[in-house]
Structure 1
Amino acid sequence: GNRMNVGTFRGDAQAFKLNSLLKLSDVKSVDGKTSLLHFIVQEVVRAENAQARKSPTAQSPAPGRQDMQDDLKQIGTQVILGINAELENVRKADGQDFDTLKNSVFKLVTGLQSLEKSLAALRDTAPSSREKGEEEEEEEEDVFLDVMTKFMSRSVSSVERVKQEYDTVLVAVKKLNVYFDGDAKKDDATAFQIFHIVSQFIVMLERACADTFGKKK
């Protein structure tokens, strides 16, 4: 792109937006079938095959040795398909419902705050029970307060940790969007679409490998 646009404001690009990866299969050759993504797959496999031949333990394929050629081709395709394994967590993130995640964290925080207020109100009413001489009820309330206070003590730290991790993830995802897309103004839900873009590209890459070299047996 820089070479084609030399001398223009488009000719000095330092990177590309991540969603541009999804357009690689739209650019077709004259046959209307082979896409730019197919070409990239072929070039990556060719480069990996060349690297494999340079290995000290590699054997030069003899003329007519189709099995050796197939082995070299498999080395290249394994490198490409290995991207799927490396980005497994990205595909898992794509399967998450952001709204559900956000609401769950919100409910945890607000629910704990509501419980804390209820316990505080219960402590305030405890003396009046003792004044009425309701000893049995007083003991039950004391046990309940003791159990719930311990629960609150454990829960506060856990919920705070969940909230902090959620905020940390959100900040990291927004930084990814700035780095790959240059957009710092995306809302929280839109920011997580970056995982969907990568997940879609992995599917496209696997399909291009299958089209070029046949489905993996």
Structure 2
Amino acid sequence: MSEIVVQTNRSVENDEQSQQIASTSRSSSLVSEIQTKHPLQNTWELWYYKNISLNFEQNLFKITSVDTVEDFWGLFNNIEFANKLSQNCGYYFFKKGIRPMWEDNANRNGGRWFFNLKKTNLTDEYWLEVLLCLIGEGFGDYNDSICGAFVLIKKNQNRIGIWTKDANHRDANMHIGNVFKQRTSYFGMINFEPHDNTKEVSYQV
């Protein structure tokens, strides 16, 4: 009889240990899933722009950088919506190492696609779509031609745009312009301007 009791107790202990091991395993898997982050192909830096000086560089303030999907959403969900920024303020979202200035070596020969829109909540929708296109490498063979994007809040309208590296690379710029228009579903004309206004380059989509 005592043998049966001992064996039964051992069986109960084994079952409890098995349950504890299974529970620990599930907890470890859950923690692992929570801790796993999805890296982006590029690291991106968010800059805040506030027009307080005639010196453009002094108007730029680097906020932070992101290199995973989770970090991007953590940033986006905790900053002010673009449409709620004060007049003459904005955001620049650029690849790490590229300053959002025409004088930067990566931008010197480039240009920008942009469009203007009235001050509505569409600004935030368009801006998010552009950001997702950037971090998702949505420009196909021409992702390397992308420098960054911007949104600026003006008095009567807002402006959203994308900066590219080479104003003379027609194929790259036209592809980027078309993707820009398709992803935002913008219904009007989108124009491209080189940073160097002496360049005789003009694109439209």
Structure of larger gyration radius: 1
**TM class by smaller structure:** under 0.3
After TM superposition, the score normalised by the length of structure 1 is: 0.21
Task: Point out which structure has higher relative CO (alpha carbons under 8 A, 6+ apart).
Answer: 1
**TM-score when normalising by structure 2:** 0.22
Question: Whose strand proportion is higher, 1 or 2?
Answer: 2
